[in-house]
Amino acid sequence: MSVEVVMPQMGESITEGTVSKWLKKVGEHVDKDEAVLEISTDKVDAEVPSPGAGVLLEIRHQEGETVEVGTVVGVIGAEGEAASENGLPRDEAPTVVAGGAAQTETETAEPKPAIPETIPSATPAPIAEAEIEVSQPETSKVVMPQMGESITEGTVSKWLKSVGDRIEKDEALLEISTDKVDAEVPSPSAGILLAINVNEGETVEVGAVLALVGTVRESRPIEKAPAEAVKASEPQHATPETMPSPVAALASATVGGHNGGRSVEDLRRTKSSPLVRNIAREHGVDIERILGSGISGRVTKNDILSFIETGAALRPEDLLIKGSPALPFVASPAQKEVLIPKTFTSTEDRVEKMSVMRKKISEHMTISRKTSAHVTSVYEIDMTHVARFRAARQSEFQAKYGTKLSFMPFIFQAVTNAIREYRIINSQVDGDQIIYKGDINLGMAVALDWGLIVPVIRNADTLTLAQLATTANDLADRARTKRLKPDEVQGGTFTITNPGVFGGLFGTPIINQPQVAILCVGTIEKRPKVMTSADGDDYIAIRQMAYFALTYDHRIVDGADAERFLALMKKLLENAEFSI
């Protein structure tokens, strides 16, 4: 019996994953729990183990494909065995018969009697030369799909089929638009389009029934009423009695495929997403002046951004907002900035597609810059006291705990103590509310060969110096070998990044949303420093010095609080009595 390899659930908020790399080929032997492929999500990369021993019979999703959690990505079984479907061998796999019941191919489905319908005609126009008749009352509902966790509604942009048209299973039936994406909606089954419930341009909630598709068989001609005889503004909503009926279906024949008397300008304005309209308002652009490349002339995000990048948005004729007094629109400083030129490639360039992790990092960083008011304060801290303590106990620590004692646990401890005094540093923003987080969960940025990941030390303020060291080293090691669990990269309340390991003096990092601050630790190196003796005499000494840069969200963190936070860290690291 074959077993299925499925896309695993990598965390509560994760609904899909991308097949990054297949570690086995079809036909190769796989041991139970042996890694068979690598997957990538927006939180973590991981290897997927084989649920059983055998041969990789089938790969159903190729590298680069993104699928929902629970989707079967591969099949493992005995050599020569056929891959299974729904847990059964292929020769016993269920097939869908009339009425939606599942049968194996060895069973015989009882045919359901056809329900004939008499179609009155008014100046009839035949549907090409096809002869169709509804063969059973079962229908399939076409619903507004869920296009993302935060998307609750969508707009019907264009019907690609009219009532009475034949449709193949998975054939594009209509186009929809949300504030995030444009997409085609495929037909859930083959048949004819029986009813259209939502007009073009209408916005409905996710899950709303957009149309009905019924199964058909060749029989006798059905004639369609002419478009003029149908009232387009009243789409026919199906009832159990009318669902299979071509009469009810044809009554809405002209709902799809028309613009309801609206002009192209109206369509462009009403069909552009809220995001596009917001961009237009910010840049003083009249959407009607842009030739849309989207559905029914709809202006897409790419259209308006390209329009702005060309400088067209700054022409005098575009600096007037339609409907406003005839006064020149004053361009914002952002509009006056030098536009970024388009990129061009040559034969010597190497073009590489972004990985899933890189795209997510790109999106996360861009969103953070647009969300928080970033300000950075820098302190120079004398780490000589820490360096001496560390050097004196390094061998003992290594022998006792089996791992090295770096500078970072000392910094973690100083951060948690400073956060206790200044809780605003450990907060989050929710609209016009400030959430002071009860737990102190430290995120530590770990550089990988293929990107960056931030595992989290939970309840760091409750851990000893030794526990902080062992936990941090364990997380870093497992991050580099793709063995982190999803919950180990979530829930951070404050992040620390350490470019100093590469020699950097200091940096101004981007805040890890939804946090409000991030600490950047520069390289710890020997530098000359002016010191003062107990007698008040100045002298120059060689000290272990480092720059600490705190980037914070100036919407809620004042400069004074950031300075006090760093000052307390400086005091603790330079003078505190440490214990392992």
Concerning whether 535 is annotated as a catalytic residue, the answer is no
β-bridge pairing 166-167 and 525-532: unpaired
Residue 162: other Cβ atoms inside 10 A: 19
The residue with greater pLDDT, 421 or 294, is: 421
Using omega within 30 degrees of 0 as the cis cutoff, is the peptide bond preceding 514 cis?
yes
pLDDT at 469 over 90: yes
Give the type of residue at 50. S
pLDDT: which is higher, 258 or 190 = 190
Structure-token pair, residue 562: 């950031």
Residue 312: the pLDDT is 52
> Residue 79: pLDDT above 80?
no
Mean pLDDT of 85-112: 43
Residue 478 has pLDDT above 70, yes or no: yes
DSSP run (H or E) holding 562: helix 559-575
Q: What is the tens place of the pLDDT at every residue in 119-145?
A: 443 434 443 333 444 444 468 899 988
Do 144 and 210 touch, CB atoms closer than 8 A? yes
Question: Above pLDDT 70, what percent of the chain?
Answer: 70
Q: Are 256 and 212 in contact (CB under 8 A)?
A: no
Task: Inform me whether the pLDDT recorded for 330 exceeds 50.
Answer: no
The closest alpha carbon to 562, from 549, 575, 572, belongs to 549
Q: Which of 47-56, 148-157, 511-520, 544-553 has the lowest mean pLDDT?
A: 148-157
Does pLDDT of 152 surpass 70? yes
Q: What average pLDDT score do residues 31-42 get?
A: 86
Predicted confidence (pLDDT) per residue in 215-272, tens digit? 654 433 434 334 343 333 344 444 434 444 443 433 333 333 344 445 544 554 455 6
Give the range among 102-116, 437-451, 453-467, 549-563 with minimum mean pLDDT: 102-116
Output the CA–CA distances (angstroms, integers) from residue 471 to 389, 403, 463, 468, 512, in the order listed.
20, 10, 9, 5, 21
CA 293 – CA 272 distance, rounded (Å)? 11
Calculate mean pLDDT across residues 306-327: 49
pLDDT at 116 (0 to 100): 42
Structure tokens at 488: 């180990």
Which is nearest to 209 in space by CA: 200, 220, 198? Answer: 198
DSSP class of 441? -
User: Alpha-carbon distance 438 to 378, whole Å?
Assistant: 27
The predicted pLDDT at position 272 comes to 66
283 is catalytic: no
Q: What is the pLDDT of residue 212?
A: 92
pLDDT at position 137: 46
The Cβ of residue 35 has, within 10 Å, a number of other Cβ atoms equal to 15
Mean pLDDT of the chain: 77
Q: What is the mean pLDDT of residues 303-331?
A: 51
For residue 436, give both structure tokens: 């002071």
Res 323: pLDDT:
41
Is the pLDDT at 183 greater than 80? The verdict is no
Comparison of pLDDT for 448 and 42, the residue scoring more: 448
CB of 475 closer than 8 Å to CB of 486: no
Q: What is the 3-state secondary structure (H, E, C) of 22-63?
A: ECCCCCCEECCCCEEEEEECCCCEEEEECCCCEEEEEECCCC
From 237, 364, 374, 554, active-site residue = 554
Name the catalytic one among 31, 33, 170, 558: 558
The CA-based diameter of the chain, rounded to the nearest angstrom, is 112
Position 293 confidence tier, pLDDT thresholds 50, 70, 90: low
pLDDT band (50, 70, 90) for residue 151: low
Which residue type occupies 423?
Answer: R
Q: Does residue 418 register a pLDDT over 90? A: yes
